[in-house]
Amino acid sequence: MENIEFEIKYAIGHMMETNYPRREFWNMDDKIPNLISGIRAGDDAVVVGKSVINMEGPYPLKLGSKTALIHTACDVVAMGAKPKFALNAIQAENEEEIKIAVDGLKKQSIGLDIPIIGGNTQTVKELKSCICVAVFGELITDKVVKDGNAKEDDVLIMLGHPVEGDIGERIYKAKNKFDTYLEIVKNIDVHACKDASRGGWLCNLLEMLVKARKGVEIFSIPYPRATRYLGTYIISVNKEDVKDVLDIALQNRCPAVTFGKIKKELGLTIGNKEYIDEEKMKELIKNFPYKF
C-alpha cells in the first residue's frame, strides 16, 4: 500500500461507475414479483425468491476462457447460494478463438460443477473478441447474505486464496473458497459479504461501509495492493463467531485473515491514521444511490 491516498481515490471512483445505470433503471425493481434484491441494492447478484442470478463481462476472450465462469459464480455464492447452471455469450474472431473460449469454459464448468446449458456464439469480425457469462443459483438457507448489512463491532475476515495462476489453479482456489463459504453460511450468521473483485478489497470494503452506514478500524493488511482484483471474500460476522469461522476454514484448508472491526462512528482508520473522516463518509453515503 505504497500510496494509500491514491488507492482510496481510485476506489471511490470505481464505486461511482454504476451510479448512472442504477438511477436510470431504478423503477424496474417494482415490476418484478418476489424481488428481494435488485438494481436499487446494487449487490453482487440479483435475488428473486430463492433464485440468485448474476451476469458478468464482457471479458477479453483469453482472460474469460480462464476466469469468466469462476468470477460470475463468485457473486452468486457470496449471497449464500449454490450455483446451478450457466449461460454464455461468445464473440470470437474465428473458429480457433471459439475453441479457446469453449474449451476454457468447459474446464471451469466441470471443475466447479456448474453446467453450461445454453447461450450464444458469433464471429463478427468488426467486434472485439470477448465472453459474457450468466450464472443461476439457489439459496441454501432462507437468508440472503447482503453486502450492506455489517453490524457495529463485527469482525471483518478475508476468506480464500487470491484467484490467480493457470486455469487449473483458479478452479481449485475458487471451489475451495465456494465450498468453505457455503459451509460457513449453513452454520454461522454471516451478516455481510462482498467479493473483493475489480476495484480491490478497499473499494469493495468501502461499498460495504457506505451501504451499512458504518465505519471501520483496519488493524492488519489482508493484501498490500488495496485495489488489485483478488477474488476473495470480505465477510462480516459477530466477534463471537470468529473462532467458528476459523475452525471451518482450517478444516477446508482455506485461508482466513481477520483484518478489521466495524464501528458505529463513520470513517476509515488504518493503524493510527484516519484516511476517510466522518464528513467524507457522509458525502459518500449521500452521493451513492443505494436502497438498503
Q: Are residues 205 and 173 both part of a single domain?
A: yes
Note the pLDDT of residue 292: 58
Range of the domain at 48: 32-139
Here the cell at position 166 is: 493457470
Look up the pTM and report it: 0.92
Note the pLDDT tens digit of each residue in 217-230.
Answer: 999 988 877 777 88
pLDDT, average across residues 124-135: 95
Residue 2: what pLDDT? Answer: 53
* 160 and 134 within one domain: no
- Quote the CA–CA distance of 240 and 193 in Å, as a whole number: 17
For residues 268 and 161, membership in a common domain is answered with yes
Whether residue 175 sits in one domain with residue 134: no
Domain assignment present for 26:
no
Cell numbers at 157, concatenated: 475476515
Same domain, yes or no: 122 and 161:
no
Q: Is 24 left (phi over 0), alpha (psi -120 to 50) or beta?
A: alpha
* pLDDT score of 1 more than 70: no
For residue 168, the domain's CATH number is 3.90.650.10
Q: Is residue 67 part of a domain?
A: yes
| Choice between 53 and 226, residue whose per-residue pLDDT is larger | 53
CATH of residue 52: 3.30.1330.10
Q: Which three cell numbers stand for residue 287?
A: 452521493
- Does residue 135 sit in the same domain as residue 165? no
Q: Is residue 8 part of a domain?
A: no
Is there a single domain that holds both residue 124 and residue 221?
no
In a domain, 6, yes or no: no
Percent of the chain predicted with pLDDT > 90: 77
Residues 161 and 280 in one domain: yes
Claim to verify: residue 274 and residue 214 sit in the same structural domain: yes
**In-domain check, residue 269:** yes
Residue 233 is assigned to a structural domain of this protein: yes
Give the integer Cα–Cα distance in Å for 129 and 92: 5
Q: What is the mean pLDDT of residues 7-24?
A: 77
Clarify whether residues 222 and 275 are in a common domain. yes
Residue at a domain's end among 90, 105, 139: 139
Judge whether 27 lies within some domain.
no
Task: Give one word for 12, left, alpha or beta, with left for phi > 0 and alpha for psi -120 to 50.
Answer: alpha
Of the ranges 74-88, 189-203, 204-218, 256-270, which one carries the lowest mean pLDDT score? 189-203
Place of cell 467524507: 280
Average pLDDT over residues 185-205: 91
Same domain, 111 and 191: no
Which cell numbers in the block locate residue 203? 473499494
| Residue 245 domain-assigned (yes or no) | yes
Q: Mutual orientation of helices 200-212 and 278-287 as an angle, nearest 10°?
A: 80
Edge-to-edge order in the sheet of strand 51-60 = 35-37, 46-48, 51-60, 130-139, 81-91, 116-122
In the listed set 139, 167, 188, which residue is the last one of a domain according to the structure? 139
Are residues 126 and 198 part of one domain? no
Q: What is the mean pLDDT of residues 154-178?
A: 96
Indicate the pLDDT class of residue 192, thresholds 50, 70 and 90: very high
Q: Do 76 and 45 form a contact (C-beta atoms < 8 A)?
A: yes
Q: Please tell me the distance from the alpha carbon of residue 263 to that of residue 214, in angstroms, as a whole number.
A: 6
Mean pLDDT score across all residues of the chain: 92
Task: Point out the domain boundary residue: 139, 169, 197.
Answer: 139
* Residue 44 banded pLDDT, cuts 50, 70, 90: confident
pLDDT at 137 over 90: yes
The number of folded domains in the chain is 2
pLDDT tens track for 232-277: 999 999 999 999 999 999 999 999 999 999 999 999 999 899 999 9
Residue 24 has pLDDT above 60, yes or no: yes
Residue 291 has pLDDT above 80, yes or no: no
pLDDT at 97: 96
